[in-house]
């Protein structure tokens, strides 16, 4: 059975708790004749004061008000039981007043100060004037003191709340700045890796293509010179030729990855570009449906349609391959200010959290026959457009790839500029 909200503690024992125990213990020790009722009221008031900062139910404004009223009621009973206006415990009325000043605003502080004052003065109705010893001026000073204490506490508490809010906002800004720095550092590291691997790929591709060309030509010549009866040799020659073509295709992808991109940016329709990519995927993955959810407000803007078509083709194809037959992939296009957001959503197995930071790195892949350049090239194209690509994934529930593209951007280094 879950614990009652009032019994779910939000904090541990604090040094202030021992101070309250010491103070109320001193009051109990100095009671006249050890009156059990007086002691019981003091214990209840001490418990209410200590529990106030620990019960989770008191985190709401309503809970705090009810608890302040509880302390005010206990204080009223204690003062009434021990002599009313002449009670030595009149100062316990400061407990609810200070709590209101600490947790609530100035209006609530004034209101509870007024309620405490009226509650205290209500004992005028029950005094025996023949035995009354407290002067009117003394009563007036006590009431004024309650209001002054509440106002001073509220002033200090409000200043503390403002500073706490400033510290909270500063901490949030620092956290966001740290995330941006981390993302920038990761982008720089990825760029460095891309540059180094690009140079290596370009040199390696150049050195491999010459011998591959010779092997291809030799296998073709061998296939033509072999007699029809030598089927095994002809089959081996065919294997050589097909493997050379596959290796040559892989080298071509290396070169595409290594070669600096030159954007041919023109005003184009983003939805048409995405539609064309989806149509190509539909021919390769006919057993997976693709649902489109496009916002109508995105007007044509400047980008390289051919390169972005490759981006969306890769993302939609990956989503289709991650989706079981008969499943569906959703493609959403939305405008976020001056940024177009394209989301590709699949409901496949998702991505292992430990791989999320590596999926855009070149040569990283979890596919048995994959090379690991698809998403690296996608990230490179998006970066060249001045955009961002991000992924959210939960194992067993699927993944969401988001591409953010600026629709208005100054022309620098061949990047898109405003279509206005």
pLDDT in tens, 202-251: 676 667 777 877 887 777 777 777 666 677 777 777 778 777 777 777 77
- Per CATH, which fold does 266-406 belong to? Heat Shock Protein 90 (3.30.565)
CA–CA separation, 184 and 180 (whole Å): 6
When pLDDT is cut at 50, 70 and 90, the band that residue 131 belongs to is: low
- Contact assessment for residue 382 and residue 405, using Cβ atoms and an 8 Å cutoff: yes
94-103 helix and 136-225 helix, angle to the nearest 10 degrees: 30
Within 292-373, where are the H helices?
Answer: 305-322
CA–CA separation, 273 and 174 (whole Å): 39
User: Is the pLDDT assigned to residue 372 strictly greater than 70?
Assistant: no
User: Is the pLDDT assigned to residue 345 strictly greater than 90?
Assistant: yes
User: Which range, of 30-34, 58-62, 190-194, averages the lowest pLDDT?
Assistant: 190-194
What is the reported pTM?
Answer: 0.48
pLDDT at 368: 59
Q: Considering the chain, tell me which residue range(s) the CATH 3.30.565.10 domain(s) occupy.
A: 266-406
CA–CA separation, 350 and 394 (whole Å): 5
Output the CA angle 58-60-62, nearest 5 degrees: 90
What does CATH list as the number for 180-258? Answer: 1.10.287.130
User: Is the pLDDT assigned to residue 31 strictly greater than 70?
Assistant: yes
The percent of residues above 90 in pLDDT, for the chain, comes to 13
When pLDDT is cut at 50, 70 and 90, the band that residue 375 belongs to is: confident
Burial class, 53, CB count within 10 angstroms (exposed 0-12 / middle 13-18 / buried 19+): middle
- Mean pLDDT (the chain) is 79
User: Which range, of 33-42, 105-114, 247-256, 281-290, averages the lowest pLDDT?
Assistant: 247-256
CA–CA separation, 205 and 201 (whole Å): 6
CA–CA separation, 83 and 79 (whole Å): 6
Greater confidence (372 vs 118) lies with 118
When pLDDT is cut at 50, 70 and 90, the band that residue 148 belongs to is: confident
pLDDT at 420: 38
Q: Considering the chain, tell me which residue range(s) the CATH 1.10.287.130 domain(s) occupy.
A: 180-258
User: Is the pLDDT assigned to residue 47 strictly greater than 50?
Assistant: yes
pLDDT at 272: 92
User: Is the pLDDT assigned to residue 200 strictly greater than 50?
Assistant: yes
Greater confidence (302 vs 119) lies with 302
When pLDDT is cut at 50, 70 and 90, the band that residue 6 belongs to is: very low
| Spatial CB neighbours of 218, under 8 Å, sequence gap ≥ 6 | none
Greater confidence (238 vs 277) lies with 277
Within 291-389, where are the H helices?
Answer: 305-322, 374-384
106-121 helix and 136-225 helix, angle to the nearest 10 degrees: 150
Q: Which one, of 417, 420, 386, 392, lies nearest residue 404 by Cα?
A: 386
- pLDDT tens digits for range 154-185: 888 788 878 888 888 889 899 888 888 887 78
When pLDDT is cut at 50, 70 and 90, the band that residue 69 belongs to is: confident
pLDDT at 7: 44
CA–CA separation, 96 and 66 (whole Å): 11
User: Is the pLDDT assigned to residue 104 strictly greater than 50?
Assistant: yes
User: Is the pLDDT assigned to residue 73 strictly greater than 60?
Assistant: yes
pLDDT at 396: 85
CA–CA separation, 420 and 407 (whole Å): 10
User: Is the pLDDT assigned to residue 405 strictly greater than 90?
Assistant: yes
CA–CA separation, 137 and 152 (whole Å): 22
User: Is the pLDDT assigned to residue 289 strictly greater than 70?
Assistant: yes
When pLDDT is cut at 50, 70 and 90, the band that residue 193 belongs to is: low
pLDDT at 57: 58
CA–CA separation, 333 and 77 (whole Å): 66
When pLDDT is cut at 50, 70 and 90, the band that residue 5 belongs to is: very low
Highest mean pLDDT among 67-76, 87-96, 230-239, 388-397: 388-397
| Spatial CB neighbours of 253, under 8 Å, sequence gap ≥ 6 | 371, 373, 377
pLDDT at 3: 47
The β-bridge partners of 389 are 403
Greater confidence (24 vs 328) lies with 328
User: Which range, of 283-287, 363-367, 397-401, averages the lowest pLDDT?
Assistant: 363-367
């Amino acid at each position: 059975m879950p614990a009652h909200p009032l019994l779910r503690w939000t904090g541990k024992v604090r040094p202030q708790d021992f101070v309250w125990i010491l103070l109320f213990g001193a009051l109990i020790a100095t009671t006249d004749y050890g009156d059990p009722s007086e002691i019981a009221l003091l214990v209840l008031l001490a418990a209410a004061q200590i529990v106030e900062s620990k019960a989770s139910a008191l985190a709401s404004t309503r809970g705090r008000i009810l608890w302040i009223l509880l302390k005010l009621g206990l204080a009223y009973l204690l003062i009434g039981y021990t002599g009313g206006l002449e009670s030595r415990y009149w100062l316990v009325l400061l407990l609810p007043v200070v709590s209101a000043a600490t947790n609530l605003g100035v209006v609530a502080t004034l209101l509870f100060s007024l309620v405490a004052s009226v509650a205290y003065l209500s004992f005028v109705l029950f005094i025996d004037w023949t035995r009354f010893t407290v002067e009117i001026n003394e009563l007036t000073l006590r009431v004024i003191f309650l209001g002054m204490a509440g106002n001073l506490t509220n002033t200090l508490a409000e200043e503390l709340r403002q500073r706490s809010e400033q510290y909270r906002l500063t901490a949030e800004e620092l956290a966001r700045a740290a995330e941006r720095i981390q993302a920038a550092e990761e982008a720089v590291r990825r760029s460095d890796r891309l540059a180094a691997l690009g140079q290596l790929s370009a040199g390696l591709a150049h050195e491999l293509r010459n011998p591959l060309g010779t092997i291809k030509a030799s296998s073709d010549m061998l296939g033509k010179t072999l007699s029809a009866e030598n089927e095994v040799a002809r089959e081996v020659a065919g294997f050589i030729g097909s493997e050379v073509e596959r290796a040559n295709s892989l080298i071509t992808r290396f070169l595409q990855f290594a070669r600096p991109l030159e954007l041919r940016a023109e005003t184009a329709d983003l939805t048409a570009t995405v539609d064309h990519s989806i149509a190509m995927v539909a021919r390769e993955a006919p057993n997976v449906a693709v649902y489109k959810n496009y916002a109508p407000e995105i007007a044509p803007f400047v980008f390289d349609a051919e390169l972005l078509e490759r981006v969306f083709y890769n993302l939609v194809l990956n989503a289709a391959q991650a989706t079981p037959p008969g499943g569906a992939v959703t493609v959403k296009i939305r405008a976020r200010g001056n940024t177009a957001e394209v989301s590709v959503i699949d409901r496949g197995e998702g991505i292992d959290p430990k791989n999320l930071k590596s999926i855009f790195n070149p040569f990283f892949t979890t596919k048995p026959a994959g090379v690991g350049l698809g998403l690296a090239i996608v990230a490179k194209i998006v970066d060249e457009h001045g955009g961002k690509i991000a992924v959210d994934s939960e194992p067993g529930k699927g993944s969401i790839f988001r591409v953010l593209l600026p629709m208005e951007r100054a022309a620098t280094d061949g990047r898109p500029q405003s279509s206005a």
